Chain A
Amino acid sequence: MSKDEAQDTQGMNYLVSLPRKVVVIYIPLLVFLFVLLFPFYWMVITAFKPDAELLSHSGNPFWLIDPTLAHFKKLLFDTAYPEWMWNTVVVSVVATFFSLFASVLAAYSIERLRFTGSRQVGLSIFLAYLVPPSILFIPLAFMVFKLGLYDTRWALILTYPTFLIPFCTWLLMGYFRSIPYELEECALIDGASRLQILTKIVLPLAVPGLISAGIFAFTLSWNEFIYALTFISSSENKTVPVGVITELVEGDVYHWGALMAGALLGSVPVAIMYSFFVEYYVAGMTGAVKE
């Protein structure tokens, strides 16, 4: 390795020789990447493969000879897919914004107003984050039915915040903690109200935290499955993950091409969103774990 690499901050990595590095680091890393990415490659290939090629045993399945858009056409024009997409967008966006709003207030209140019992409330928010949807969906289904929300978007918009708010609040508490008290004290002396301090001082400084929480909340609600499966029954109200699983599988005939096209289109929005905000996403994920 060259001398300038010896000066970088990577500690003693320069001591590792190149051939050794290839065997110990690059080869395992490539295997990891191959395994982690192969299902996506497979999804894409299958989505563009004509049925004849999909169901033939001859030929190389890893490549496609005659790409087709037939599966996408079927998906977009013969199924309720566009409606599922729209439902997913509406539910995710509304649930995310509502959760962010509630979480900002809650996190500020717990972290900075320090009312009596704020520590206990903070702890219970964390515990709420640990309650898995698999335990709640049955009683929630019971409630959704009683409230007359069954098979409406409201059932999802109202229940998604149960896992979004604890997560966002916990994350934002960490961000608010990093903002110096002195800024708020100055503003208080200048006669600002708590609400003004929150909107004019704390929030602008916590923008990275807000983005992290927002991105994370959006992907969590986009990916949600069990509530959407339980609370929604009619096709036009379904979300993408549930619609693809329940509506595109007809009896024993699996339309693999259309299924994969559906899976691909349903994954692309979150993947794009993620690719723009990778750093925020990672910060959100690791931040929530590290606290």
Chain B
Amino acid sequence: MRRLLENRNFLGLAFLLPAGVLLLLFLTYPLGLGVWLGFTDAKIGRSGSWVGLENYIYLFGDAVARLSLFNTIFYTTVASAIKFALGLWLAILLNQNIAFKSFTRAVVLLPFIVPTALSAIAFWWIYDAQFSVVSWTLMKMGWIDRYIDFLGEPWLARMSTIIANIWRGVPFVAICLLAGLQTIPPSLYEAASIDGAKPSQQFWYVTLPLLTPIIAVVMTFSVLFTFTDFQLIYVLTRGGPLNSTHLMATLSFQRAISGGSLGEGAALAISMIPFLLAAILFSYFGLQNRAWQQGGSDK
């Protein structure tokens, strides 16, 4: 018995048991089950039978599903790009020698820690067609002559949901990049400025290259979360108007849970995986690149 307890492999396995069992049961198995469900015509309360690629073929011919793919890519691209730009800017601002530094940093993160579903309600009210405070302000300033129906028109609704997503995502990007900025030694900037580098050059040739590994990781997470976003859209628009804000996640919820076609919804959810894998691989090879660059060879 005692020998067994000293054996690394036995002990390692025993310690791994609670986490392993739970993850295999509720993560790995459902992942496989999801793939399988995508090939069946399962409905809620009825296990389906194998239908091959029928769900995928149907979805491919379905205008709403194709629109949701477009929306998801558009939403992810625009939101991530802006989140990155604003996040980096905010991180640089927070990295300066400012008053109330730690307090400011703590406050900045608030949008990220509050339940998204609940802060989305605040945005819903801000975007209200009749009582929007944004419309009210713009009216008072005389810039518009009637209230904007933020969530009522396709492109306006797309942009409004993207803005809400950016609001929630910028703090995460900023605080993570700030942690990265703080690891860059000040002496590098001193050396650069002695060599005559302007602030913009310092940014391009010192800050950005040293920050790239962290940027790659942070943006991968950001892209993954944005691509699979559900809460914001569900609360703000439920995919409307005219399905123009449906993301793949919200559409698969609608098809599988509200509509009862588990198979079709699962197929739609599984279709997200190739895109996610592409994003992960892209950043992985980005990181590899960095290690090679730091080896000293020039580009």
Q: A29-B98, A139-B37 are in contact. Are A115 and B8 (CB under 8 A)?
A: yes
Q: Which residues of chain A are within 8 angstroms of B33 by Cβ–Cβ distance?
A: 139, 142-143
B265 at the interface (CB under 8 A from A): yes
Q: Which B residues, 140 to 194, have Cβ-Cβ distances below 8 Å to chain A? A: 167, 170-172, 175-176, 179-180, 186-187, 189-190, 193
A272, chain B: closest CB distance, angstroms: 11
Q: Is the CB of B89 within 8 A of A37?
A: no
Q: A132-B228, A161-B22 are in contact. Are A114 and B93 (CB under 8 A)?
A: no
B249 at the interface (CB under 8 A from A): yes
Q: Is the CB of B115 within 8 A of A222?
A: yes
Q: A33-B104, A108-B15, A274-B113 are in contact. Are A12 and B189 (CB under 8 A)?
A: yes
Q: Which residues of chain B are within 8 angstroms of A106 by Cβ–Cβ distance?
A: 15-16, 18-20
B30 at the interface (CB under 8 A from A): yes
A218, chain B: closest CB distance, angstroms: 10
A90 at the interface (CB under 8 A from B): no
Q: Which residues of chain A are within 8 angstroms of B64 by Cβ–Cβ distance?
A: none
| Segment of B75-83, B120-128, B288-296 in the binding face | B120-128
Q: Is the CB of A270 within 8 A of B266?
A: no
B51 at the interface (CB under 8 A from A): no
Q: A115-B11, A145-B45, A225-B115 are in contact. Are A139 and B31 (CB under 8 A)?
A: yes
A219 at the interface (CB under 8 A from B): yes
B118 to chain A: closest residue by CB: A263
B109 at the interface (CB under 8 A from A): yes
A80 at the interface (CB under 8 A from B): no
Q: Which residues of chain A are within 8 angstroms of B122 by Cβ–Cβ distance?
A: 39-40, 42-43, 46, 260, 263
Q: Is the CB of B93 within 8 A of A29?
A: yes
What secondary structure prevails in chain A residues at the interface with B?
Answer: helix
Tell me how many residue pairs across A and B have CB atoms closer than 8 Å: 290
B272 to chain A: closest residue by CB: A135
State in angstroms the CA–CA spacing of A14 and B114 once bound together. Answer: 36
A32 to chain B: closest residue by CB: B90
Q: Is the CB of A267 within 8 A of B23?
A: no
Q: A131-B31, A135-B273 are in contact. Are A225 and B26 (CB under 8 A)?
A: no
State in angstroms the CA–CA spacing of A286 and B205 once bound together. Answer: 24
A119, chain B: closest CB distance, angstroms: 12
Q: Which A residues, 153 to 203, have Cβ-Cβ distances below 8 Å to chain B? A: 158-159, 161-162, 165-166, 169, 193-194
Q: A39-B123, A145-B45, A285-B175 are in contact. Are A113 and B8 (CB under 8 A)?
A: yes
- B93-118 interface mask toward A, CB cutoff 8 Å, 1 = contact, 0 = none? 11011100010111111110111111
Q: Which residues of chain B are within 8 angstroms of A219 by Cβ–Cβ distance?
A: 113
Counting chain A CB atoms within 10 Å of each CB, the highest count among B97, B113, B218, B265 belongs to B113
Q: Is the CB of A62 within 8 A of B133?
A: yes
Q: A25-B93, A136-B34, A226-B231 are in contact. Are A290 and B117 (CB under 8 A)?
A: no
State in angstroms the CA–CA spacing of A289 and B8 once bound together. Answer: 29
B125, chain A: closest CB distance, angstroms: 6
State in angstroms the CA–CA spacing of A118 and B245 once bound together. Answer: 43
What secondary structure prevails in chain B residues at the interface with A?
Answer: helix
Q: Is the CB of B110 within 8 A of A40?
A: yes
Q: Is the CB of B217 within 8 A of A289?
A: yes
Q: A109-B11, A140-B30, A263-B119 are in contact. Are A35 and B266 (CB under 8 A)?
A: no
State in angstroms the CA–CA spacing of A142 and B23 once bound together. Answer: 17
Q: Which residues of chain B are within 8 angstroms of A285 by Cβ–Cβ distance?
A: 172, 175-176
Q: Which residues of chain B are within 8 angstroms of A36 by Cβ–Cβ distance?
A: 107-108, 110-111, 167, 170-171
A82 at the interface (CB under 8 A from B): no
Q: Is the CB of B16 within 8 A of A121?
A: yes
Q: Is the CB of B114 within 8 A of A271?
A: yes
State in angstroms the CA–CA spacing of A158 and B30 once bound together. Answer: 13
A94 at the interface (CB under 8 A from B): no
B2 to chain A: closest residue by CB: A193
Q: Is the CB of A259 within 8 A of B121?
A: yes
Assuming A125-B23, A134-B252, A290-B217, what are 15 further A-B pairs, CB within 8 angstroms?
A12-B186, A13-B96, A32-B108, A36-B108, A42-B126, A109-B12, A116-B9, A136-B30, A245-B235, A256-B128, A262-B121, A267-B119, A278-B109, A281-B109, A282-B109
Q: Which residues of B contact A (CB under 8 A)?
A: 5-6, 8-9, 11-13, 15-20, 22-23, 26-31, 33-34, 37, 42, 44-45, 86, 89-90, 93-94, 96-98, 102, 104-111, 113-119, 121-123, 125-126, 128, 131, 133, 136, 167, 170-172, 175-176, 179-180, 186-187, 189-190, 193, 214, 217-218, 221, 224-225, 227-231, 234-235, 248-249, 252-253, 256-257, 262, 265-266, 269-270, 272-273, 276, 280
Q: Which residues of A contact B (CB under 8 A)?
A: 5, 8-13, 21, 25-26, 28-29, 32-33, 35-37, 39-40, 42-43, 46, 54-55, 57, 61-62, 101-103, 105-106, 108-110, 113-116, 118, 121, 125, 128, 130-143, 145, 158-159, 161-162, 165-166, 169, 193-194, 219, 222-223, 225-226, 229-230, 240-242, 244-245, 256, 259-260, 262-263, 266-267, 270-271, 274-275, 278, 281-282, 285-286, 289-290
A-B complex: 8 closest residue pairs judged by Cβ atoms: A115-B12, A11-B186, A109-B15, A286-B179, A241-B117, A106-B19, A132-B228, A134-B249
